Structure 1
Amino acid sequence: MQRQHISSGSPFEEQIGYSRAVVAGDWVFVSGTTGFDYATMGISDDVVQQAEQCFLNIQTALQQAGASLDDVVRVNYVLPDASLFEACWPVLRKHLGRARPAAMMVSAGLLDPRMKIEVEVTALKAR
């Protein structure tokens, strides 16, 4: 099975040694994705805006892989402050409400203190 590596252009990928996403057959594995706007390398202070940007970044990677948010079967959320998770629910429902993937949320520290949410997804491309 061939693997395709997808990059967002984030300098973190080169510095750390990972890909934004890896396609293996019909599976797409999208790395933990934060609310950075990779065009500007800026990040909002607002967790809801960060969540929205996470999904824009994930959607871009999935499109490059020939998939969409509707193909997501698993999602993991990581937030340093679990009390902020509920504020993100409308954004999560907006982007994954049709797919309704299996989900998990963990409260843990993230690499950069500006990061308030990180989202990882696995998708199975529709045939």
Structure 2
Amino acid sequence: MTDQEIHVRHLTGIDPRTGGNPPCLKEQCRVALDRGARALARDGYRLQDVTRIIFLMRDTDGFPSCFPLLRDAFGTGRPGTTLRLVTGFDEPGAQIEIELVVDPAHF
């Protein structure tokens, strides 16, 4: 175990089965969170252990549709949240990118 923060970056909504982006923001968010959960599990952590989450988005209009996913994913953890607006992504059709941070010092 380490005391250094663990960062899981560049979590996009690219569907690993198809290689494409789902058309809606909510589904892209779900895929990105699933990818993040798998990455954290490799280090023995869960989404509920996340202390900070950073969202990169082009447009926030559909973001409220993601709130139920976020409540389910993070439970009562309530990680610190940053939302950064970006002009675009490298991947056409991408609407969201997520970074998760776990600070083991909180445990």
Count of residues paired in the alignment = 104
* Aligned: 1:119 with 2:77: no
User: What is the identity percentage for the equivalent residue pairs of Structure 1 and Structure 2?
Assistant: 28
- The Cα of 1:123 is off from its aligned counterpart by 0.9
> Of 89, 92, 99, which residue of structure 2 is paired with 1:110?
89
| Structure 2: stretches of 5+ with no match in the other structure | none
**2:82 partner letter:** M
Which residue in 2 is equivalent to 1:74? Answer: 52
CA RMSD of aligned residues (A): 1.8
- Can you list the C-alpha shifts for 1:46-71, whole angstroms capped at 9, x where unaligned? 11111111110000000011111111
TM-score normalized with structure 1 length: 0.73
Q: Which is strand-richer, 1 or 2?
A: 1
Which residue in 1 is equivalent to 2:30? Answer: 52
Taking CA–CA contacts closer than 8 Å with sequence separation of 6 or more, which of the two structures ends up with the larger relative contact order?
2
Q: For 2:62 and 2:92, locate their aligned partners in 1 and report how far apart those are by CA, in whole Å.
A: 15
Structure 1 runs of 4+ with >3 Å offset: none
TM-score normalized with structure 2 length: 0.85
Q: For 2:10 and 2:76, locate their aligned partners in 1 and report how far apart those are by CA, in whole Å.
A: 21
Q: For 1:64 and 1:72, locate their aligned partners in 2 and report how far apart those are by CA, in whole Å.
A: 14
Q: For 1:106 and 1:97, locate their aligned partners in 2 and report how far apart those are by CA, in whole Å.
A: 23
* Aligned: 1:65 with 2:57: no
